[in-house]
């Protein structure tokens, strides 16, 4: 039942410490505490909405679907990168607990971070199918077996929530690192049996900001709300890139040997 | 957005020393045991090249409590290395399939650990079999 | 687009790691604990004569070089990356320090094997 119902039933309360930042007003981020009544089924997102609706209308945060599919509400909850809609307040009772913007990203305002760099990286990896062989309409669809699909399917589950970037310490040290989420998308295409542009994408992988910024911490895959396993996407490309480094001179003219680059049909 | 002033929080310099990253740092630290043990072997190889006296001095060192304690630490580091190595190994491979089924990563890990266990036994058998 | 040189060090890291995972614990037990104490293995296991014979044999040379060099390069890569995580020094300085040491020790290993003949 709603927290502001009849006083006969005392709602539990918890203090949420939110990191605020108002450009022009604050020189640096500052913690602000809010006492929020909650029920056992309330998410942290609902808690933030309560704050905005009843306590402080100036609080800014991104949200949309409230069901862990849009990727908008990523933030640091209790120091861990989580989706606010997928995190229940009761986990942190008796509290207080902290809600802060996603780590390793510049803060625009309050819990809203700058995502432009991330979007640019997505655009840079040719995030669309470039078919190996073009088929005319009358030739029918590109066919794929369930096993061929299974080889890249989890990488297509990414909702671009950027929790993995907040988790990755190497991205924190080097913002030019392509990063786990974008590498997962890259592998979604390179691993698709219909795609023929593996070498174009591998050019990005071979660089210091490609797979080689990764040190296999693995925390990215732990925090991913969709079990995409970006650590696998990055690290299997280390193997591919390393083999290609040595075997490229033996390959076809203009590129690496077929065994070394990209994903091949089973 | 004339008052836009994005604020980038500095990365904490000791991030590697706290959870959730401490486990990763400890995993990487097993490399010290691997390299350290190689250095002891290298010292033995150099002494072997130098001659009988030098080599037997190295053997004498191996018998000291310091060396035994050091090798216990090496052993702990090696075992930690084996365990964490096969946890991370499936991440470096594309999705493998057995027939029509994608092999779960934990089964690849289990397989690797089984091979390591078998290898351990085989080496012991070889050692026992090549005794003077 | 400029390729990273990381693969030069990552492949030996991987090979050394796999080798250490398969034979590391056994080797430490045998050479570091059992043979020196004589517990479970003859105390003469690593005598000078036997060690010399092993190092003279081409297979013995290969094993000695493989184990020492690969274990060294594996450990070096991890130590290098960890020192970088800790901001112990600049990236280039750390690369020269770590890979330089590993390279020098690899040459020493080859030299020792050559002297043994």
3-state secondary structure chain A: CCCCCCCCCCCEEEEEEEEECCCCCCCCCEEEEEEEEECCCCEHHHHHHHHHHHHCCCCCCCCCCCCCCCCCCEEEECCEEEEHHHCEHHHHCCCCEEEECCCCCCEEECCEECCHHHHHHHHHCCCCCCECCCCCHHHCCCCCCHHHHHCCHHHHHCCCCCHHHHHCHHHHHCCCCCCHHHHHHHHHHHCCCCECCHHHHHHHHCCCCCHHHCCCCCHHHHHCCCCCCHHHHHHHHHHHHHHHHHHHHHCCCCCCCCCCCCCCCC
Co-location of A140 and A245 in the same domain: yes
A194 burial via Cβ count (<10 Å: 0-12, 13-18, 19+): middle
A177 CB neighbours in chain C (<8 A) are none
Q: Is residue A258 in a domain?
A: no
C68 in contact with chain B, both atoms CB, cutoff 8 A: yes
A66 in contact with chain C, both atoms CB, cutoff 8 A: no
B28, C78: Cβ pair inside 8 Å? yes
Q: Is residue A30 in a domain?
A: yes
A147, B97: Cβ pair inside 8 Å? yes
Specify whether the CB–CB gap between B16 and B24 falls below 8 A: yes
Q: What percent of chain A has pLDDT over 90?
A: 88
**Annotated domain spans of chain B:** 15-129
A31 Cβ neighbours under 8 A, 6+ residues apart: A17, A18, A19, A20, A98
Specify whether the CB–CB gap between A32 and A100 falls below 8 A: no
Cβ-Cβ pairs closer than 8 A, B with C, add up to 167
A218 vs chain B: nearest CA distance in angstroms? 8
User: Does the pLDDT value for residue A230 go beyond 70?
Assistant: yes
Least confident residue range of B2-11, B119-128, C108-117: B2-11
Nearest to C72 among B38, B63, B86 (CB): B38
Co-location of A124 and A240 in the same domain: yes
A242, C11: Cβ pair inside 8 Å? yes
Specify whether the CB–CB gap between B78 and C28 falls below 8 A: yes
Q: Which residue is it, tokens 């990356």? A: C81
C74, B13: Cβ pair inside 8 Å? no
Q: Rounded distance, CA B40 to CA B67, Å?
A: 10
CA neighbor of C82 nearest in space, from A215, B82, A221: A215
Which architecture characterizes domain C12-116 according to CATH?
A: Up-down Bundle (1.20)
3-state secondary structure A158-220: CCCCCHHHHHCHHHHHCCCCCCHHHHHHHHHHHCCCCECCHHHHHHHHCCCCCHHHCCCCCHH
| pLDDT value of position A143 | 93
Cβ-Cβ pairs closer than 8 A, A with B, add up to 81
Structure tokens at A145: 């077996």
Co-location of A68 and A184 in the same domain: no
User: Does the pLDDT value for residue A7 go beyond 60?
Assistant: no
Structure tokens at C97: 């320090």
B3 vs chain C: nearest CA distance in angstroms? 34
B44 CB neighbour count, 10 Å cutoff: 22
Total domain count for chain A? Answer: 2
Tell me: the pLDDT tens digits for A171-224? 999 999 999 999 999 999 999 999 999 999 999 999 999 999 999 999 999 999
**If pLDDT is split at 50, 70 and 90, which confidence band does A10 have?**
low
Given A93, A113, A133, the domain boundary residue is A113
C14, A242: Cβ pair inside 8 Å? yes
Given A80, A113, A146, the domain boundary residue is A113
Q: Which residue is it, tokens 């309050």? A: A110
C111 CB neighbours in chain B (<8 A) are 49
User: Does the pLDDT value for residue B41 go beyond 90?
Assistant: yes
Co-location of A121 and A87 in the same domain: no
Q: Rounded distance, CA B20 to CA A80, Å?
A: 9
Specify whether the CB–CB gap between A56 and A50 falls below 8 A: no
Co-location of A130 and A150 in the same domain: yes
The number of angstroms, rounded, from the C-alpha of A27 to the middle of its chain's C-alpha atoms is 29
Q: State the number of CA atoms in the 13 A half-sphere of B96 facing the CB.
A: 14
A-contacting residues in C 71-90 (Cβ below 8 Å):
81, 85
Specify whether the CB–CB gap between A180 and A233 falls below 8 A: yes
A203 in contact with chain C, both atoms CB, cutoff 8 A: yes
Q: Rounded distance, CA B118 to CA C83, Å?
A: 34
Specify whether the CB–CB gap between B63 and C24 falls below 8 A: no
Co-location of A34 and A101 in the same domain: yes
Co-location of A147 and A239 in the same domain: yes
CA neighbor of B38 nearest in space, from C26, C73, C114: C73
B69 vs chain C: nearest CA distance in angstroms? 9
Mutant choice from A147, A173, A174 vs B, greatest count of B C-beta within 10 A = A147
Specify whether the CB–CB gap between A157 and A185 falls below 8 A: no
Mutant choice from A208, A216, A243, A256 vs C, greatest count of C C-beta within 10 A = A208
The number of angstroms, rounded, from the C-alpha of B64 to the middle of its chain's C-alpha atoms is 24
Tell me the CATH number at A93.
Answer: 3.10.20.30
Q: Rounded distance, CA A221 to CA B20, Å?
A: 13
Q: What percent of chain B has pLDDT over 70?
A: 98
Domain range for A143: 116-250
CA neighbor of A20 nearest in space, from A47, A49, A73, A56: A56
Q: Is residue A266 in a domain?
A: no
- Across-strand partners of A100? A76
**If pLDDT is split at 50, 70 and 90, which confidence band does A97 have?**
very high
Q: Rounded distance, CA B114 to CA A19, Å?
A: 48
C32, B68: Cβ pair inside 8 Å? yes
User: Does the pLDDT value for residue A71 go beyond 80?
Assistant: yes
Co-location of A107 and A18 in the same domain: yes
| pLDDT value of position A223 | 98
SS3 C89: coil
| pLDDT value of position C95 | 97
Q: Rounded distance, CA B28 to CA B34, Å?
A: 11
Q: What is the mean pLDDT of residues C30-38?
A: 96
Q: Rounded distance, CA B63 to CA B55, Å?
A: 13
B92, A239: Cβ pair inside 8 Å? yes
Which architecture characterizes domain B15-129 according to CATH?
A: Up-down Bundle (1.20)
Specify whether the CB–CB gap between B52 and A195 falls below 8 A: no
Co-location of A77 and A128 in the same domain: no
C8, A245: Cβ pair inside 8 Å? yes
A67 CB neighbour count, 10 Å cutoff: 10
B37 vs chain C: nearest CA distance in angstroms? 8
User: Does the pLDDT value for residue C54 go beyond 50?
Assistant: yes
Specify whether the CB–CB gap between C12 and C73 falls below 8 A: yes
A265 vs chain B: nearest CA distance in angstroms? 12
């Amino acid at each position: 039942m709603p927290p502001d119902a009849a006083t006969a039933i005392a709602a539990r309360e918890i203090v949420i410490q939110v990191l605020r930042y108002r450009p022009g007003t604050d020189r640096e981020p500052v913690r602000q505490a809010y006492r929020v009544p909650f029920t056992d089924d309330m998410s942290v997102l609902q808690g933030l909405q309560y704050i905005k609706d009843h306590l402080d209308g100036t609080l800014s945060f991104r949200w949309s679907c409230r069901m862990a599919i849009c990727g908008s509400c990523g933030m640091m909850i209790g120091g861990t990168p989580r989706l606010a809609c997928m995190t229940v307040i009761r986990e942190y009772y008796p509290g207080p607990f902290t809600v802060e913007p996603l780590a390793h990203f510049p803060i625009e305002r309050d819990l809203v971070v700058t995502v432009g760099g991330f979007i640019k990286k997505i655009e840079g990896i040719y995030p669309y199918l470039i078919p190996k062989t073009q088929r005319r309409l009358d030739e029918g669809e590109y066919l794929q077996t369930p096993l061929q699909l299974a080889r890249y399917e989890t990488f297509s589950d990414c909702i671009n929530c950027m929790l993995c970037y907040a988790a990755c310490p190497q991205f924190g040290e080097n913002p030019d690192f392509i990063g786990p989420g974008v590498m997962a998308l890259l592998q979604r295409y390179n691993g698709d049996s219909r795609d023929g542009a593996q070498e174009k994408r591998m050019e990005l992988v071979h660089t210091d900001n490609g797979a080689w910024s990764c040190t296999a911490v693995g925390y990215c895959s732990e925090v991913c709300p969709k079990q995409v396993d970006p650590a696998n996407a990055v690290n299997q490309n280390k193997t591919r890139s390393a083999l290609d480094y040595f075997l490229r001179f033996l390959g076809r003219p203009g590129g690496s040997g077929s065994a070394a680059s990209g994903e091949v049909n089973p | 957005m004339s008052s836009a002033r994005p604020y980038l929080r500095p990365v904490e310099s000791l991030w590697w020393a706290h959870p959730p990253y401490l486990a990763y740092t400890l995993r990487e630290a097993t490399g010290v045991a691997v390299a350290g043990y190689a250095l002891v072997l290298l010292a033995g190889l150099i002494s072997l090249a130098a001659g009988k006296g030098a080599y037997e001095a190295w053997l004498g060192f191996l018998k000291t409590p310091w060396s035994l304690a050091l090798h216990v630490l090496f052993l702990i580091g090696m075992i930690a290395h084996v365990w964490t190595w096969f946890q991370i190994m499936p991440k470096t491979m594309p999705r493998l399939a057995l027939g029509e089924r994608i092999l779960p990563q934990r089964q690849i890990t289990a397989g690797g650990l089984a091979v390591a266990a078998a290898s351990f036994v085989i080496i012991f058998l070889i050692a026992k079999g090549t005794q003077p | 687009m400029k390729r990273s040189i990381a693969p030069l060090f990552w492949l030996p890291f991987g090979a050394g790691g796999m080798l250490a995972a398969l034979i590391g614990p056994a080797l430490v037990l045998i050479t570091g604990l059992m043979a020196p104490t004589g517990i479970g293995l003859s105390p003469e296991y690593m005598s000078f004569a036997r060690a010399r014979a092993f190092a003279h044999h081409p297979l013995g040379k290969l094993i000695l070089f493989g184990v020492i060099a690969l274990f060294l390069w594996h450990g070096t890569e991890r130590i290098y990356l960890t020192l970088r995580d800790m901001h112990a020094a600049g990236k280039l300085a750390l690369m020269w320090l770590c890979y330089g040491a590993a390279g020098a020790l690899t040459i020493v290993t080859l030299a020792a094997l050559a002297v043994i003949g």
